[in-house]
Amino acid sequence: MRFLTSLLAIALAAACAPPAVGPGAAGRTSRIAFPFDWEFRGLDPIGTGSQGMVATADARATRVGLDILQAGGNAVDAAVAVGFALAVVLPSAGNLGGGGFAVLRQANGEVASLDFREMAPLQAVPERFRDAEGIPTDATRVGHLAVGVPGTVAGLAELHASYGSLPWEDLVAPAIDLAENGFTVTESLHRGLAAKASILTQFDATRQTFYPGGEAPRVGSSFRQPALAGTLREIAAQGKDAFYSGRIADLIVQEMRRGDGLITHEDLRRYRANWRDPIVFDYRSHTIISMPPPSSGGVTLAEALNILEGFNLRELGFNTPDAIHLLVESFRRAFADRNYYLGDPDYVEIPIDRLTSDQYAAELRATISRSRASSSDEFNRVPVLSEGFNTTHYSIVDSQGNAVALTYTLNSSYGSGVVVDRAGFFLNNELDDFTVRAGYANQFGLVQSDANLIGPGRRPLSAMTPTIVVSPEGQLRLVTGSPGGPRIITAVAQTIINVIDYGMDVRTAVDAPRIHHQLLPDEIEIERNGMDNSTLSVLAGFGHRFTSTGEYFGNIQLIIREPNGTLYGASDPRREDGRALGY
């Protein structure tokens, strides 16, 4: 039977038209055809289960989460344990020295979202990040000055205090084990560290910790992190205080003094994770729950999907020029508002209700021509003066039906590049997500307004979009999220559309090629071999411009729940170490 199934899969792949009726398909299907040379054709494993499901960017972290669920832990317990485990096995993005966001839905329908985003240190005034002429420098990208006050440990502790059921130490223990006893180095860990060696080895503690013997750890060797194990043991014993006021706080402040970093004891003591009201909106009778500011994810997703709701994408067909055109025009308009209005809600007034309203979406929809590309100049309100990333997302559902979508990050791969000496973990470079000066692009090419201006105690605007979808019948339907900077928002939107509009199964919805548009630059970004020439030329005829860096976008972790309770999980094949496992 298995042989027959794989034969069938190969035959379908060869026909380059994977079915949309596999596990997790919505029942209503639309013809799905991928471009001829598209790499991902539904052959990677999926997770199946009836009790619980964990999908993360690293198979060992997925296993940690599944063990916690099987030991009787709930989805939040598993999320805490996975958060710590990824900090060990995925040092480019999993972290103690970064921050993130979690969206939760309890089995009883209660929803919540936690903001554990980094904060700018009290001394982080804009002038520190500009040169004598007032032009932004690269100080927000590499080194000590780029580091925001980390939120991850406070976030995981807050999740546990509010919703956890197992003892805290039991949730940190698997990470301590991985750090102390080591784990096998994968291709991608080796490749990632080797590629960034020239930047990372300039920092002593980074070189000593991650380049033993002067080189990136070899594929297949065992990699131990004793200093990190010690840090985790203190966090297990003393909770978040170990990090924000104990020995680890001392080590962070000492590390700051080694460079020109700004974080003080006071900054660390003041840090809080904040519960915020999630962004909740309807899309084709489904309820979508996503992250509010200081992430732009939920508002931008809502604005784009609200515009798209007025078009019959299913009838237009997946990846047809007409459908792609409408996606692009919706993303363009949503990003214009994102870049202009959004910032830290504790410091700026944001018209969230208006931006996410159906009436506003209708006004924007009326400005879209069906056959002519708009120009971003018509929508952009931030004057433009000038023109290797990593984050990680995981999705978890437990046997009660509680769900957690959590995305956290160091911003760039390995963040600022700075490891805290004797504490063994990387610090973020999240200050680059701020506007250093309005009109100047950050590393993602985002041109943002003063609403997101760097300033003491502020949280930088994010694109992270952990998202949960509830079916028209009020049942959990899907849990998803991704890394990718601004491409997170468009990847999450397209994954939701793939399931709801096109009826794709869990694997096809994740494998399908993605496009991206973020207002500026005014061009459609396409993935490697992600669009047929015929589609491209129709879109060019509409007036669209294109760019491709030859890369793939995002690393979606998707869980779909069927009405009968069956769970399907798929980890994005675009990055190799991920895995979804259920039971």
- The beta-strand segments (E) located in 31-168 are 47-49, 53-56, 99-105, 111-116
One-letter amino acid for residue 35 of the chain: P
The verdict on whether omega for the bond into residue 321 sits within 30 degrees of 0, i.e. cis, is no
Which residue, 325 or 459, is less far from ligand DON as judged by CB? 459
Structure tokens at 190: 């080796």
Structure tokens at 454: 């760097």
Residue 22 Cβ vs ligand DON, minimum distance, rounded to whole Å: 28
Which residue, 261 or 481, is less far from ligand DON as judged by CB? 481
- The beta-strand segments (E) located in 316-435 are 389-397, 403-412
Residue 431 Cβ vs ligand DON, minimum distance, rounded to whole Å: 10
391 binds ligand DON (CB under 6 A): yes
Residues 255 and 259: their CA atoms lie apart, in Å, by: 7
Which residue, 190 or 338, is less far from ligand DON as judged by CB? 338
DSSP 479: E
Binding range to ligand DON, per CB under 6 A, among 25-33, 237-245, 383-391, 519-527: 383-391
Binding range to ligand DON, per CB under 6 A, among 57-65, 134-142, 338-346, 477-485: 477-485
464 binds ligand DON (CB under 6 A): yes
Residues 498 and 487: their CA atoms lie apart, in Å, by: 16
Which positions ≥6 away from 439 have C-beta within 8 Å?
382, 383, 384, 385, 386, 447
Residues 13 and 50: their CA atoms lie apart, in Å, by: 28
Which residue, 164 or 485, is less far from ligand DON as judged by CB? 485
Query: For the residues of 176-195, what is the DSSP string, one character each?
Result: HHHHHH-EEPPHHHHHHHHH
H-helix or E-strand spanning residue 395: strand 389-397
Residue 219 Cβ vs ligand DON, minimum distance, rounded to whole Å: 22
346: phi then psi, degrees, rounded to nearest 5? -75, -10
Phi/psi-derived region of residue 170, left when phi > 0, alpha when psi is between -120 and 50, beta in every other case: alpha
Which residue, 47 or 293, is less far from ligand DON as judged by CB? 293
411 binds ligand DON (CB under 6 A): yes
Residue 296 Cβ vs ligand DON, minimum distance, rounded to whole Å: 8
Which residues ranging from 478 to 507 are in contact with ligand DON (CB under 6 A)? 483-485, 488
Residues 374 and 378: their CA atoms lie apart, in Å, by: 7
Residue with tokens 């055109």: 325
518 binds ligand DON (CB under 6 A): no
32 close to 17: Cβ distance less than 8 angstroms: yes
Count of chain residues binding ligand DON (CB under 6 A): 14
Binding range to ligand DON, per CB under 6 A, among 334-342, 372-380, 457-465, 573-581: 457-465
293 binds ligand DON (CB under 6 A): no
Residue 411 Cβ vs ligand DON, minimum distance, rounded to whole Å: 4
211 binds ligand DON (CB under 6 A): no
Which residue, 115 or 430, is less far from ligand DON as judged by CB? 430
The number of C-alpha atoms within 13 Å of 559 and in the hemisphere containing its C-beta is 38
Residues 124 and 409: their CA atoms lie apart, in Å, by: 20
H-helix or E-strand spanning residue 560: strand 557-561
Residues 382 and 337: their CA atoms lie apart, in Å, by: 10
Which residue, 374 or 392, is less far from ligand DON as judged by CB? 392
Which residue, 62 or 409, is less far from ligand DON as judged by CB? 409
Residue with tokens 């504790």: 346
Task: Sketch the per residue contact string, 412 through 431, with ligand DON: x for CB under 6 A, - otherwise.
Answer: ------------------x-
DSSP 280: E
Binding range to ligand DON, per CB under 6 A, among 72-80, 151-159, 242-250, 456-464: 456-464
Binding range to ligand DON, per CB under 6 A, among 264-272, 384-392, 472-480, 558-566: 384-392
**Which residues have a catalytic role annotated?**
391
390 binds ligand DON (CB under 6 A): yes
**161, β-bridge pairs:** none
Decide: helix, strand or coil at residue 515: strand
535 binds ligand DON (CB under 6 A): no
463 binds ligand DON (CB under 6 A): yes
Residue 90 Cβ vs ligand DON, minimum distance, rounded to whole Å: 12
462 binds ligand DON (CB under 6 A): yes
Residue 485 Cβ vs ligand DON, minimum distance, rounded to whole Å: 4
Q: Of the candidates 115, 433, 505, 522, which one interacts with ligand DON according to CB under 6 A?
A: 433
Closest residue by Cα to residue 237 from 165, 174, 167, 178? 167
Residue 407 Cβ vs ligand DON, minimum distance, rounded to whole Å: 8
Which residues ranging from 339 to 358 are in contact with ligand DON (CB under 6 A)? none
Structure tokens at 270: 């003041």
Structure tokens at 438: 């309005």
Phi/psi-derived region of residue 124, left when phi > 0, alpha when psi is between -120 and 50, beta in every other case: beta
Residue 464 Cβ vs ligand DON, minimum distance, rounded to whole Å: 5
Which residue, 91 or 484, is less far from ligand DON as judged by CB? 484
390 close to 409: Cβ distance less than 8 angstroms: yes
Residue 307 Cβ vs ligand DON, minimum distance, rounded to whole Å: 22
Which residue, 392 or 535, is less far from ligand DON as judged by CB? 392
Residue 393 Cβ vs ligand DON, minimum distance, rounded to whole Å: 9
Binding range to ligand DON, per CB under 6 A, among 183-191, 216-224, 250-258, 459-467: 459-467
Q: Of the candidates 409, 442, 448, 518, which one interacts with ligand DON according to CB under 6 A?
A: 409
| Sign of the torsion angle spanned by Cα atoms 126, 127, 133, 137 | negative
465 binds ligand DON (CB under 6 A): no
Closest residue by Cα to residue 542 from 371, 406, 393? 371
Which residue, 90 or 236, is less far from ligand DON as judged by CB? 90
151 binds ligand DON (CB under 6 A): no
Closest residue by Cα to residue 505 from 447, 569, 414? 569
389 binds ligand DON (CB under 6 A): yes
For ligand DON, the binding residues (CB under 6 A) are 389-391, 409, 411, 430, 433, 462-464, 483-485, 488
